[in-house]
Amino acid sequence: MQKYDKLDKIGEGTYGMVFKARNKETGEIVALKRVRLDDDDEGVPSSALREICLLRELKHPNVVRLFDVVHSEGKLTLVFEFCEQDLKKFFDSMNLQPIEPSLVRSLMQQLLKGLYYCHSRHVLHRDLKPQNLLLDSSMQLKLADFGLARAFGVPVRCYSAEVVTLWYRPPDVLFGAKLYNCSIDMWSAGCIFAEISNVGRPLFPGSDVDDQLKRIFKQLGTPNEDNWPAVSTLPDYKPFPTMHPSISWSQIVPNLSSLGRDLLQKLLVCNPAGRMDSESALKHPYFSAIEN
């Protein structure tokens, strides 16, 4: 750790403090994520191990770079590339001023590129939210905080349903689904897309699981066996009153173009089998059309 000069405390992550630091040898500014190692613990937290293992393999402009791992004095320090802010802080800095449509498009495209890279390498992020999307000084977006991420393969394994921050958790996982795939991240991406367009106003800010499902069904309609076969067999399924969308998408995301709204609706599909994947989303005309 003698290699680094600590400059400022940036914040507190899931499992430790994060500092801004300078590499004394190169002068490069980096972020140091300090992992707490408790004496009575069984070593390194599983979330830290998972993040280290996955990020050592993931190298892409839209995924945060892990430069080094330093183990000393009962502490584990992860050395990351430094980014000025996360997407949530960017929203706060905008003071509700609309974000340029071209920047909304760029941020969403970068998010999808990062996801496509991860998904094509069989990695699910499982905790996408504005706080876990970093922005550097040139507004390059990077997926970060892979503490809940998992590698997946064939055959599909059962995973935990206790993943994804509530506001960005898809209906299938809210109903207790333990068999899921890349569609889990695509739902979160849709929620974030709407939030970027609305300058930080969350799309479905539920207070608990039931409230979250009600908010989703109010906008998308209550699913049934016709549009989501076998929904009633999910572990935590319970029937909800039949709701039909009463507010149009142009009212929900007034700053998004018709093509943007079309992409959003293809991401926010209750039945995970009907949700658009990252490769298809990147080919959506929203990213190629010249719009005013």
Q: Residue ranges for the binding site?
A: 33
Cα 251 versus chain centre, distance = 24
* H-only helix segments in the chain: 46-57, 87-94, 101-120, 171-174, 183-197, 209-220, 249-252, 258-267, 278-282
**Of the residues 86, 127, 145, 172, which is catalytic?**
127
DSSP lists the bridge partners of residue 143 as 63, 133
Which DSSP string do the residues of 167-206 spell out, in sequence order? Answer: GG--HHHHTT-----THHHHHHHHHHHHHHHTTT--S---
Question: Catalytic residue at 127?
Answer: yes
Could you tell me the two tokens for 257? 């173009």
Where does residue 74 rank: exposed (0-12), middle (13-18), buried (19+ CB within 10 A)?
A: exposed
Give dist(CA 268, CA 209) in Å, integer. 17
CA–CA gap between residue 144 and residue 125 (Å, rounded): 9
Give me the amino acid identity at 98. Answer: P
Q: Which residues contact 279 (CB under 8 A, 6 or more apart)?
A: 116, 120
Q: Which residues pair with 68 in a beta bridge?
A: 79
Q: Which residues are annotated as a binding site for ATP?
A: 33
Residues forming the active site = 127
